Structure 1
Amino acid sequence: MIDFEVPAETAALAERIRAFVTDEVVPYEKDPRLTQHGPTEDLRRELVEKARTAGLLTFQAPAEMGGIAPSHLEQAVLFEAAGWSTLGPIALNCAAPDEGNMFLLSKIANPAQVAEYLKPIVDGRQRSVFAMTEPGGAGSDPGQLTTAAVRDGADYVINGRKWLITGANGAGTWIIMADLEGVGPTLFLCHGDAPGIVIERTMDTMDRNYVEGHGVVRFDDLRLPASALLGEEGQAFRYAQMRLAPARLTHCMRWLGAASRAQEIALDHARTRTAFGKPIGQHQGVGFMLADNEIALQQCRLMIWWACWQLDQGARGRHESSMVKAAVSEQLFQVADRCVQVLGGMGISDETPVAMIFRDIRAFRLYDGPTEVHKYAIARQVLGR
């Protein structure tokens, strides 16, 4: 049986989330604290407190930590509503990288680590990072990992350099991937103020939807105790895949919400802006672009729901999430591009959020693996059947 009806309780919560984002979050899109490097920590905290007051903060958390523990399919509906503004997921504490890090820590952290590192993120008190990507090395191909960890007595000592580390500036919880001597890639946990973590700079990037942007980080003899080990030694790639499959999908959910917002703005403009004697939406060139957007948005939504259903049935979802990430990121970019075109000169300005959505969705084609890497993995999978 195939049933596309959203359960009433989930639909009602999505409406609450959409209303909260529209009424409480959208006005902050013009706030000067939304900088070229993304929202500042001060802006994040202010937004988080609004969500806390509304009873919507970290709704996706496990029940034992105050959330409603929605299924992946339920998340698809709720995260799309949260993504109506690029600041929505930040306010609701379901934005990357924190959302993916919370998921991973809830699966493999021990009770002491949950209390020290996970609980403050769930509570919205601090942010987290997943430090894997390296300049000229590990990224889409983590096998090129060069950051090294060695044992020194009971401690681990880490040296190396990372970049494009989202939210590094001011993050409290750090998950670090390093190549442990004699064992292989391993995950470690520490606090952001640990001696040996050096934040060199924040990179200038086209996107600005992640708190404090993307940092360049150096580890200079970062010394961590045995208790800093996250999970088992040598299992970092397996844990990263555990995190990536659902995280790819939550990216798609949030950006579907943002692209839907861009479409709504373009539709309103096409109904009211006139040219050559009638509203521009009645001209076939514009009308067809809007129709293509409507088709693409629904195709993306259904692909996301399909992959989420697979995860809810117990599938690993690596192949399915790769297909969805590749297709959705490309289609939503085209949606955003057409919205810019429909808006004309206004589309390249900050008179509406469409230009910002366009820039951010362009970057989404690279987040959690560029399209070409996903197609490479998909091809290997189908050829090997």
Structure 2
Amino acid sequence: MPTAPDAPAAGTLADGLLGQVAEQLGRPLPACLQEAFQRVPRHRFLPDRIWLRDGSGGYRPVDRTTDPADWLAAAYTDQPLVTHFTGGLPSSSASMPSMVARMLLLAGLTEPNGPDQAPLRVLELGAGTGFNAGLLCILAGDEQVTTIDLDPDLAATAQENLKRVGRAPTVVAADGAGGWPPGAPYDVVLATFSVDHIPPKWLTGLRPAGGRIVTPWTSAWCSYGTLELTATEGGQAHGRFHSFASFMPMARPHAKSHPPTTTPAGDDSAAFSATGLSPWAVAGGDLDAEFHIGLTVPGASYSWDTSGDHAHTRLQIQDPATGSWATVDYDGRTAAEFAVTQAGSRRLWDEVTAAYRRWEELGRPSVDSYGLTVTAGATVMWAGSPASPVAES
């Protein structure tokens, strides 16, 4: 299909973007992926207003009509761009191009296809702006690509964006958790949102013995990492995590949200103790430790309270599903001991402490050391090898 007419500067800007991506990855992209980035101009998939991180934890808008140069430059910078807010929070974005490239490489879509092999069938979960689907069309062929999005408006916008640049994959408004059975089996299932488990229908829609799933990963504790799974016989799959990507979680229709767990000072079930384990060790930005805790302490999340209302600095841990909570307080003077309060059916700080000590016993493995095996009856997370399981669901 022909490529739609484009701004004269887009080709030069795309070259610059490819240079940024190569620098981030430490090597140039394969020629076929470079071609895809050249033939699918990123700015054609962006709304007139986008939002960039402002460096202070928030976002600043960039409007094409009032600041076209800044808007176009942002389109070809290796950074994520928020394209939609829901309830004051980012709900859709144009992913960081180097992240997109990493995932396409993991999916095997840049590897040469033998002359006797059928074209790869690809299911993308989370159409977003349509940009990633456009790249997939170049790599696999329009007729081989299906992209779905839960939001009908986003799906329609993605389809229109793709049409404008001459691409025509199958675009469907549907729940990503259910895959898309009419197009199965797929050689590749590629998610553009993060999940904390592999939905069963992703596996049943995958080509047995060799089909791949690539998806960002999340947990209540730590949203980080990308999982690459390869299907084996009998509906099973096996693969490893990789140290990159932090994506928005999978949206679900009619999902019920749990209200925040409160930490009432007079809770009769509260237990008081002290700990020598620093709260910053488990929630201070060590992604390897936090990833392990997220895998092994399901449902537990944390936040920091620096208001000074209760302590100089407080780590708050909660599990809304059970109403359990814990706090770890730093008094502003000594980092040798911290006051702990726990309440509810789960002793969350005890669980987090046990998970951290286990991570230390394992030799402080990095995210890349972990893997996941899906069988008919269970999902097992492991560190190093399947012989060293750390969690099961």
Fold-level similarity (TM above 0.5):
no
State TM-score, norm by structure 2: 0.25
Whose helix fraction is larger, Structure 1's or Structure 2's?
1
With structure 1 as the length reference, what TM-score do the two structures score? Answer: 0.25
Larger Rg: 2
* Structure of higher RCO (CA pairs closer than 8 Å, 6+ residues apart): 1
